[in-house]
Amino acid sequence: MQPIIECVPNFSEGRNLQTIKTITDAIETVEGIRLLDVDPGKATNRTVVTFVGSPDDVIEAAFRAIAKAAEVIDMRNHTGEHPRMGATDVCPLIPISGITMEETAEYAKKLAKRVAEELHIPTYLYEAAQSNPSRTNLSVIRGGEYEGFFEKIKQPEWAPDYGKPEMNATAGATVIGARDFLIAYNVNLNTKSTRIANRIAFDVREAGRVKREGNPYSGKIATDENGEAIRIPGKLKSVKAIGWCIEEYNMAQISMNLTNYKITPLHVAFEETRKAADERGVRVTGSELVGLIPLKPLLDAGKYFLEKQGMSAGVSESELVDCAIRSMGLNELGPFDPSKKIIEYLLRDDKQSRLVTMTVRGFVNETASDSAAPGGGSISALTGALGAALGTMVANLSAIKKGWEDRVGEFSPWAEQGQTLKDRLVAMVDEDTRAFDAIMTAFGLPKDTPDQVSIRKQAIQDASKYATEVPFRTMQTAFECLPLLKQMAEHGNPNSLSDVGVGALCIKTAVRGAWLNVLINAQGLSDKPWAENIVSEARALLAKNHAACDEIILGIEAKLGA
């Protein structure tokens, strides 16, 4: 999975739209960046920008934006309601997919160091990027704001993490860090009562409610020995919530911020809110996502609701997303379009998946045309995907077999594994063709001068290595499907034995076909030790796959009376 991070910088300008555009234009000069949202606020005189991309692209775009903000914003003239300390007040990086928080924090440090060294802006780290517990909280770091930082920065305990302890008079100081994705989420109620909505919000939010003597809603606030209000915590960690009534919808809502969906997943917030509403005689009618969401929370929700229904969760990604949408009523107030709400789908480049988006007839016709691609490598990957799909199908059929209701938990994990392998092999259909195209592009490079000849030669070698690695990964991934097929052959629905056998044959073909592509692409490599090593590994894998496939197929034939 391609690493994706989100960046949400806050700039101290919310009134001059041209200034804001100058900053966002700088962001969009980086190829591969997708600008998702620009939200200016006049009263706060502050703009929140959201963009996503690969880690290296994101920190480059963030640097250019911070540099441009320092150029066009003069903090000596800035006023606004929101606390701030610099032209770029805060710049969080958020892991979306394919990257850990720890890795994201390292990118934040890399960006902060460059900002301090090249732009001469004192820079602080916060949240996951900050190792000093007393300096992880943004509001604590920002205390004193721009005006107070000229003296604060000179205090040894408040020296910046990067840069000199001297305030930049025009750009101020900047805070850069790594944090979890925040999900803005509203749960709809069949009441217009803000009072009831607030009571439900207090039931579920982490902060809970203050404890009262006598009447739990209007009694005197109970205090401890220090005179501090005693609080009754709510059910959900990392959740902030409040109740309100939306006249436009003619209903009350629980408005929540899930500050860490890994601690409290989306479906857990929905379910606990539903339970709290039931206890107060109110029904949850649906819910609403504000802004964008990563794919994982919806996949987790779909899996949860399917398992709750006693069904296998080993279904396709689109089915999991659809189950989540329907189960939480995300389309009650308007259409929920996954292609516009899920970050990974917004970033999806259909040009990179040209083959797998074709119809079956279109793909076959394309293969049969006078174009060299798609060729044997892509067909091998597709054949492997079909083998994984057949194994997954049998796992799902076994999970719903009459009389096997108590075995859903046995087969569902196998189906989930099969879906993952199937998706990886499907992606390799287009990747193999892209690898071939890269070789053709390299051969097309100019060769009129010695330098051009050298560059062209190296490009051909690099492309040929890539074209050798791709079918080798196809071999590895297809081979990973065999435990699934073996399990289904021995313990799955006996009525589907022939399907398992065909799946094993597909895997056998996929691995041997990919092996041929490893051989042909390794032939022209000048790095002979590298070529010999990958061919040797591929040959060993081929032999193991051949034996394992034959064992499965012969076992099935024996069961079928051959």
- Beta strands 88-97; 231-232: pairing state: unpaired
DSSP letter, residue 30: S
Three state DSSP letters for 211-254: CECCCCCCCCECECCCCCECEECCCCCCEEEEEEEECCCCEEEE
What is the crossing angle of helices 497-522 and 528-559, to 10°?
160
Q: Which of 501, 513, 504 is nearest to 470 (CA)?
A: 513
φ, ψ dihedrals at 480, nearest 5°: -65, -15
- Which residues have CB under 8 Å from 133's CB, separation 6+? none
Q: Residue 269 corresponds to which amino acid?
A: A
10 Å CB burial of residue 484 (0-12, 13-18, 19+) is: buried
- For the chain, what's the residue count? 562
Instruction: From 266, 501, 312, 261, select the one nearest 417 (Cα to Cα).
Output: 312
Integer Rg of the chain from CA: 29
Token pair in block for residue 43: 């009263």
The one-letter code for the residue type at 21 is K
Closest CA to 132 of 158, 95, 167: 158
| β-strands 174-178, 123-127 pairing | parallel
The catalytic residue positions are 82, 432
Burial class (CB in 10 A: 0-12, 13-18, 19+), 74: middle
**Beta-bridge partners for 183:** 258
In 3D, which of 102, 125, 35, 22 has the Cα closest to residue 66?
22
Q: Which two tokens stand for residue 77?
A: 């003239």
Listed residue (106, 126, 103, 110) closest to 62, CA to CA: 110
- Residues 417 and 406: their CA atoms lie apart, in Å, by 20
Give 204: exposed, middle or buried? Use CB within 10 Å, 0-12, 13-18, 19+.
buried
